[in-house]
């Protein structure tokens, strides 16, 4: 494969793979001027005819054959032991080998996390990777993390997520100084679990160059109160799935209302030419599909396992944006500072928390 920006794809991961992966890649490339090459990992006998249906895709793609894949139900520890040479393993290893800048998979989340940690290793100062998701908000998108990688978190891990999420949002959304909030059951100082309260105290003591705004509540996520919302993986995943389900429910209600009578259908036909199409797109979870594993020495994007071609194309767009960003280098200064504070808790005492106006 020629040099340049390369996205490495686990072509066998996901409920509808490899069809959704190949068709999503072709959709991603349509009308794109940025030169990108794609490296598909999977069963060549299945992939070759699918890729051949899209001439534009064939011209910028290479298939790396393997007949091994990671089962969607495999436990992370089992996946690491048995996945060497699988499509998921090879897709991530292409980053380590310098053949690709980003890996994308719709496969088993736990397995992908474990494999990525083994192959790419963690950045210094990060205990566990977090999955960052883009969340629709009035003025664009917020970043929410963790949304499923870590069910139980320590205060130090939550502070690490704040550092990672801030850098991710700045790189992906172009916000120079993102605001950061810690998800809680209330904004009062004494609300929440001990872990949440300790995380709040730690981030304030660390003296990080961060616009930290303290506690926020669940309804603040969609309101866009802060650019970055930090929480544990259990809470974040429940919130994400609830929001996606609600969006689909409201979309179905709208569809039913617009097709309930001839008059409604006539009105829908007119509205669909403009505002209704835009609203439908903003409510479609496929248009924000793609969680980024933060904290690794490399960029790995996790697509929803049940997504279709459109959703997978979105995950590739996010992968491209991450590859073109300075995300990996941006987080290192604050991670080093945070590590120093954790080694010496008194080191950051008295340093004011920097906050934007």
pLDDT digit string (tens) for 129-185?
Answer: 899 988 888 888 899 998 988 888 999 899 999 999 998 898 788 898 999 999 999
CA atoms of 310 and 305, how far apart (whole Å): 13
| Averaged pLDDT, 35-58 | 95
Given this chain, do its domains 1-120+296-330 and 124-288+350-357 carry the same CATH topology?
yes
CATH classification of 124-288+350-357, choosing from 3.50.50.60, 3.40.718.10, 1.10.10.10, 3.30.70.890? Answer: 3.40.718.10
- Give me the residue spans of the domains in the chain: 1-120+296-330, 124-288+350-357
Q: Is 227 strand, coil or helix?
A: coil
pLDDT of residue 191: 86
Q: Which of 51-55, 78-82, 315-319 has the lowest mean pLDDT?
A: 78-82
User: What's the rounded Cα separation, in Å, for the pair 215 and 180?
Assistant: 9
What pLDDT score was predicted for residue 11?
97
Burial 318-341 (b: 16+ CB within 10 A, else e): bbbbbbebebbebbeebbebbeeb
Q: Which residues contact 127 (CB under 8 A, 6 or more apart)?
A: 154, 156, 157, 160
> Hunting for tokens 């808790």 — which residue is that?
345
Predicted pLDDT of residue 278:
60
Three-class HEC string of 137-157? ECCEEEEEECCCCCCCCCHHH
Query: Please, which pLDDT band fits residue 282 given cuts at 50, 70 and 90?
Result: low
| CATH number belonging to domain 1-120+296-330 | 3.40.718.10
Assess whether pLDDT exceeds 70 at residue 58. Answer: yes
Other Cβ atoms within 10 Å of 219 Cβ, number: 8
Mean pLDDT of 182-207: 89
Angle at 76 between CA 72 and CA 79, to 5 degrees: 70
Confidence of residue 313 (pLDDT cuts 50, 70, 90): very high
Q: What is the pLDDT of residue 270?
A: 57
The rounded distance, in Å, linking the Cα atoms of 97 and 119 is 10
pLDDT class for 356, splitting at 50, 70, 90? very low
Q: For residues 124 and 126, what is the distance between their CA atoms, to the nearest angstrom?
A: 6
Give the CA distances from residue 154 to residues 126, 197, 299, 352, in Å, rounded to whole numbers and listed in that order.
Answer: 12, 11, 24, 23
Q: What pLDDT score does 325 carry?
A: 79
Interval 191-198 mean pLDDT: 91
Whether the predicted pLDDT of 46 surpasses 90: yes
Percent of the chain, pLDDT > 90? 46
Contact status, residue 68 vs residue 39, Cβ threshold 8 Å = no
High-pLDDT (> 70) share of the chain, %: 84
Stretch 5-13: mean pLDDT: 96
Which pTM value belongs to this model?
A: 0.81
Distances from the Cα of 61 to the Cαs of 5, 58, 93, 118, 131, in angstroms? 12, 5, 18, 27, 28
Mean pLDDT to the nearest integer, 90-117: 94
Q: Whats the size of the chain, residue-wise?
A: 357
Query: Average of pLDDT values for 108-131?
Result: 90
Q: Which helix (H) or strand (E) holds 62?
A: strand 61-65
What pLDDT score does 351 carry?
42
pLDDT in tens, 225-269: 999 999 998 998 888 888 878 777 777 776 676 666 666 666 666
Confidence of residue 279 (pLDDT cuts 50, 70, 90): low
- C-alpha 142/C-alpha 144 separation (Å) is 7
Q: Which of 185, 183, 109, 184 is nearest to 150 (CA)?
A: 109
Does residue 56 carry a pLDDT above 70?
Answer: yes
- 24 pLDDT higher than 50: yes
C-alpha 197/C-alpha 202 separation (Å) is 9
Decide: 288 and 132 in contact? Cβ < 8 Å. Answer: no
Residue 112: what pLDDT?
94
What is the structure's pLDDT at 87? 97
Give the start-end residues of each E strand in 113-261.
130-137, 140-145, 179-183, 211-216, 228-230
What average pLDDT does the chain have? 84
């Amino acid at each position: 494969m020629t040099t340049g920006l390369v996205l490495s794809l686990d072509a066998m991961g996901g409920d509808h793979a490899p069809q959704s992966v190949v068709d999503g890649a072709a959709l991603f490339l349509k009308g794109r001027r940025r030169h990108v090459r794609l490296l598909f990992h999977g069963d060549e006998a299945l992939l070759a005819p699918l890729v051949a249906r899209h001439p534009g895709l064939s011209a910028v793609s290479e298939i790396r054959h393997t007949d091994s894949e990671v089962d969607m139900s495999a436990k992370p520890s089992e996946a690491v032991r048995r996945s060497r040479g699988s499509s998921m393993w090879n897709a991530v290893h292409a980053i380590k080998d310098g053949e690709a800048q980003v890996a994308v998979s719709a496969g088993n989340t736990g397995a992908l996390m474990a494999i990525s940690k083994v192959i790419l290793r963690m950045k210094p100062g990060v205990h566990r990777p977090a999955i960052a998701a883009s969340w629709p908000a009035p003025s664009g998108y917020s970043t929410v993390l963790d949304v499923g990688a870590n069910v139980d978190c320590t205060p130090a891990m939550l502070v690490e997520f704040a550092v990672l999420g801030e850098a991710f949002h700045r790189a992906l959304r172009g916000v120079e100084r993102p605001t950061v909030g810690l998800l809680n059951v209330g904004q009062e100082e004494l609300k929440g679990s001990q872990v949440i309260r300790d995380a709040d105290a730690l981030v304030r003591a660390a003296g990080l160059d961060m616009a930290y705004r303290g506690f926020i509540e669940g309804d603040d996520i969609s309101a866009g109160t802060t650019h970055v919302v930090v929480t544990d993986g259990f809470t974040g995943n429940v919130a994400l799935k609830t929001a996606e389900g609600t969006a689909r429910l409201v979309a179905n209600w709208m569809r039913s209302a617009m097709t309930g009578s001839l008059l409604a259908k006539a009105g829908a036909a007119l509205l669909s030419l403009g505002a209704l199409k835009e609203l439908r797109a903003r409510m479609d979870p496929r248009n924000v599909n793609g969680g980024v594993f933060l904290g690794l020495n490399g960029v790995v994007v996790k697509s929803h396992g049940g997504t279709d071609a459109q959703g997978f194309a979105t995950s590739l767009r996010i992968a491209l944006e991450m590859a073109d960003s300075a995300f990996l280098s941006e987080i290192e200064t604050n991670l080093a500072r945070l590590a120093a504070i954790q080694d010496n808790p008194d080191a950051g005492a008295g340093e004011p928390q920097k906050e934007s106006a």
